[in-house]
Amino acid sequence: MAAVSLKNINRTYLKGEVKALQDINLEIKSGELFGLIGPDGAGKTTLFRILTTLLLPDSGKATVAGFDVVDNLWDIRKISGYMPGKFSLYQDLSIEENLNFFATVFNTTLEANYHLIEEIYVQIEPFKHRLAGDLSGGMKQKLALCCALIHEPEVLFLDEPTTGVDPVSRKEFWDMLDRLKARGITIIVSTPYMDEASRCDRIALMQNGEILEVDTLEGIIGRHSQNLYAVNGDNRYELMKAIRTYEGTLSCFAFGEESHVSLKLNEDANEGLKEHLLHLKHSGLAIKKIEPNIEDTFIKLMLEKATNV
Amino acid sequence: MSEIVIHTDKLTRIFGDFTAVDAISFDVAAGEIFGFLGANGAGKTTAIRILCGLLSPTSGVAEVAGFDVYKESEEIKKHIGYMSQKFSLYDNLTVKENIHFFGGIYGIPRKELKEKTNELVSRLGLNNEADKLVGSLPLGWKQKISFSTAILHEPKIVFLDEPTGGVDPITRRQFWDMIYETASRGITIFVTTHYMDEAEYCDRVSIMVDGAIAALDKPSEMKKSFGAKDMNDVFLQLARGAKRGD
């Protein structure tokens, strides 16, 4: 049985003016670590709120562990853990009080389920009497995760847990998710950081309320081949402007120290590009063919979407 | 070397028994794109608040746009721009009203402000949206307007505190095109980000660890000296050694 299933889910806001989710179809397998990847406004939070029974869809059918989000909401609430994007614990309760509160709500105790959260909790336990409102960002994140895990959920929903978090803490957080996955918990996590896609079993790329693609990272990248080159040279800003004036250029965007240039297919366009740039007196040029990464692919899908509309 | 617009020497800020900023020394030149990186809790926000004239240091020297942070903080505020993801535009004002409001605060004369507003609106391609509420616009547009508003008064320096969080990959890069264009006009860019690929877009980058500057160089040189393939790798090597949790 699928851990999560969505069939033709639609949701609008402001009397239909904002289409937050448009005809979403998705199946997430039990035990999967599944990523919803997309920028703000893609519909990630709306999707989470529907699956956690906090928001009704306008139409369509969605289930979590076989339970319908409209008809069986109390069953879903018992078996899911939810960490919202906005810190939503009680700021005027201590770490320990927050945990006891959530344990009690779900008819259990901190002592009985201590083993479920131990690995994460030991990192904040020395401060257990500190008020949640006085914690740093990283500690709040760990406490919120403990509160979402205390009732031993089958499915864990994490809405942008790593947004605004530095690269070291982000890596640690994903290592923690790997260990939770090993226990068999289904994890659905959203993120605006494309590089985190590589930490998921499968991902859905989302944009403006729609799913652009669902598959493994390799599967999605492999399906959208590009004639892609990494270009390096002096005076990057002028260089990028010059690349965009070349007739064979489809798109040119900065990627780290290089610029990634998508050229028209089936064409020896890179030689032409080099000539074009040399003609414009650009120096220090290095052009090499590269394989696209997930961000290149996302950009390509966005551009295709924009031209098809 | 061109004109120095930010100068600090052993700049320090202590809160009680906690040294948030620990004797940092660096210079930033006019027109430079300077990346100010660090882990959560490393002391970046405290340092930025000092440089914006919002917080007095405990000791050390800091001059911004030629003004002393101890004695001339009001002058500093007039000569800088500031934009962050959190502090942005008013959602319930229109695009034009927002530009007028912020331009007015920075003391741009009414007549000049009117011209500047029209010029800005057409440069951003927002002629059809100029009288719409900002709240109804996509995040990426808001950030472009917010940035343009922060430099409307032609400041010496603009501070950008995680300006691109949450936006899509194309808008994020278009935002950097705006940064490059602004820097090429001689305005200094002082930017923080958690996207390590954006660190590579900077002329120079500093990485703070536990209140001190652990590394400061061009991204290419920094990668060389750390034997790292990219800036993410440099960051992980440096910040992993941090004693101070956030």
Tens digits of per-residue pLDDT, B194-239?
889 899 999 999 999 999 999 999 999 999 999 999 999 999 999 8
Contacting B with CB below 8 Å, chain A residues are: 38-41, 136-139, 163-171, 192-195, 207, 236-237, 240, 253-257, 295, 298-299, 302-303
- The secondary structure of B139-168, three-state, reads HHHHHHHHHHHHCCCCCCEEEEECCCCCCC
pLDDT above 80 for B241: no
pLDDT above 60 for B173: yes
Whether the model pTM is above 0.90: no
Q: What is the pLDDT of residue B246?
A: 54
B242 interface with A at CB cutoff 8 Å: yes
**Confidence band of A139 (pLDDT split at 50, 70, 90):** confident
pLDDT class for B11, splitting at 50, 70, 90? very high
Q: What is the CATH number of the domain that holds A245?
A: 3.30.70.2070
Query: Both A100 and A245 in a single domain?
Result: no
Query: In this structure, are A109 and A83 located in the same domain?
Result: yes
Tell me: do A181 and A235 sit in the same domain: no
Same domain, A142 and A180: yes
| pLDDT class of A1 with cuts at 50, 70, 90 | confident
- Spell out which residues of chain B touch residue A194, defining contact as CB-CB under 8 Å: 169
Q: How far from B211 is each of B19, B24, B36, B46, B238, CA to CA, in Å? A: 7, 8, 12, 9, 13
B1: pLDDT confidence band, cut at 50, 70 and 90? low
Specify the 3-state DSSP secondary structure of A278: helix
Among the partner-chain residues A41, A237, A253, the one whose CB lies closest to the CB of B138 is A41
Beta carbons of A169 and B39 less than 8 Å apart: yes
Over 70: is that where the pLDDT of A307 sits? yes
Give how many domains chain A has, as a whole number.
2
Query: With pLDDT > 70 as the criterion, what percentage of chain B qualifies?
Result: 98
Query: Nearest CA of chain A to the CA of B115: how many Å?
Result: 28
A93 within domain boundaries: yes
Percentage of chain B exceeding pLDDT 90:
77
Predicted ipTM of the assembly: 0.83
Question: Considering its fold, how many domains does chain B have in total?
Answer: 1
Question: Residue A86: its pLDDT value, please?
Answer: 87
Of the candidates B138, B224, B140, B152, the residue with the CA atom closest to the CA atom of residue B176: B140
Q: Specify the higher pLDDT residue, A13 or B240.
A: A13
Note whether residue A303 is domain-resident.
no
Chain A interface includes B201 (CB < 8 A):
yes
Domain boundary among A221, A236, A271: A221
**Is residue B239 in a domain?**
no
Is A192–B165 a contact, with Cβ atoms under 8 angstroms apart? yes
CATH number at residue A194: 3.40.50.300
E strand or H helix at A87, and its extent?
none
A52 and A184, same domain (yes or no): yes
Q: Which domain holds residue A157?
A: 2-221
Residue A104 falls inside a structural domain? yes
Residue with tokens 């397998």: A29
Q: Are residues A120 and A158 in the same domain?
A: yes
CB contact under 8 A, B171 and A39: yes
- For the segment B46-74, the average pLDDT, to the nearest whole number, is 96
Separation CA A149–CA A83 (nearest Å)? 9
Same domain, A245 and A209: no
Classify residue B134: in a domain, yes or no: yes
The predicted structure's pLDDT at residue A74:
95
Does residue A308 lie within any of the structural domains? no
How much is the average pLDDT of A53-64? Answer: 97
Helix axes A137-149, A167-182, angle to 10 degrees: 10
Between A305 and B231, name the one with better pLDDT: B231
Chosen for mutation from A127, A166, A210, A297 (greatest number of chain B CBs closer than 10 Å) is A166
**What pLDDT sits at residue A12?**
96
Q: What is the pLDDT of residue B84?
A: 86
Q: In this predicted structure, which of A7-21, B159-173, B215-229, B231-245 has the lowest mean pLDDT?
A: B231-245
- The DSSP annotation for chain B comes to ---EEEEEEEEEEEETTEEEEEEEEEEEETT-EEEEEE-TTSSHHHHHHHHTTSS--SEEEEEETTEETTT-HHHHHHTEEEEESSS---TTSBHHHHHHHHHHHTT--HHHHHHHHHHHHHHTT-TTTTTSBGGGS-HHHHHHHHHHHHTTT--SEEEEESTTTT--HHHHHHHHHHHHHHHHTT-EEEEE-S-HHHHTTSSEEEEEETTEEEEEE-HHHHHHHHT-SSHHHHHHHHHTT-----
Range of the domain at B94: 88-154
Q: Are B39 and A168 in contact (CB < 8 Å)?
A: yes
Per-residue pLDDT band at B245 (split at 50, 70, 90): low
For residues A73-77, give the mean pLDDT.
Answer: 96
Q: Final residue of a domain: which of A202, A221, A240?
A: A221
